[in-house]
């Protein structure tokens, strides 16, 4: 019998993004079933603060609307904003992890989405420091 491999924090972030994506697509919240407290708390944190998180994103999108973001990009940015605003995660780590997820899931090799996500999150970081 194989032991289940422990997920790294980066892998846990991927699971969070996948679940947020699923919830956004289906427009319904299903119970979060995970042995990782970080995953459960993060998803519940994003969902319980979704209105404020989206308000922060909307206030920092330039010539763009939140509903134009792909479901995956929206999930990545929402989670990054949650980490920036509601947790003690260093801003550099939260942004770097979001960029890595963007690179893996939505960038088409031209770095446009990575650049876009970086700019939005940098705007948000500056906005939150005010």
pLDDT, tens digit (0-9, with 9 covering 90-100), for 42-54: 999 999 999 999 9
pLDDT, tens digit (0-9, with 9 covering 90-100), for 82-119: 999 999 999 999 999 999 999 999 978 788 899 999 99
pLDDT, tens digit (0-9, with 9 covering 90-100), for 20-70: 999 999 887 777 788 999 999 999 999 999 999 999 999 999 888 999 999
Burial readout 49-82 (b: 16 or more C-beta within 10 A, e: otherwise):
beeebbebbeebbeeeeeeebeebbbbbbbbbbb
Structural domains in the chain, sorted by start: 9-129 (1.10.940.10)
pTM as predicted: 0.91
**Number of residues assigned to the chain:** 130
pLDDT of 4 reads 62
**Does residue 1 register a pLDDT over 60?**
no
CA angle 105/97/71 to nearest 5° reads: 40
Torsions phi, psi of 90, nearest 5? -60, 140
Helix (H) / strand (E) containing 78 = helix 71-86
């Amino acid at each position: 019998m194989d032991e289940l491999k422990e997920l790294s924090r980066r892998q846990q972030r991927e699971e969070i993004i996948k679940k947020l994506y699923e919830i956004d697509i289906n427009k319904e919240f299903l119970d979060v079933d995970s042995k990782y407290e970080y995953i459960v708390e993060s998803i519940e944190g994003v969902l319980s603060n979704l209105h404020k998180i989206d308000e922060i994103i909307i206030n920092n999108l330039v010539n763009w609307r939140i509903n134009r973001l792909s479901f995956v990009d929206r999930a990545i940015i929402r989670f990054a904003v949650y980490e920036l605003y509601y947790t003690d995660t260093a801003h550099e780590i939260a942004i770097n992890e979001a960029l890595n997820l963007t690179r893996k899931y939505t960038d088409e090799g031209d770095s446009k989405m990575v650049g876009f996500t970086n700019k939005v999150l940098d705007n948000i970081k500056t906005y939150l420091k005010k």
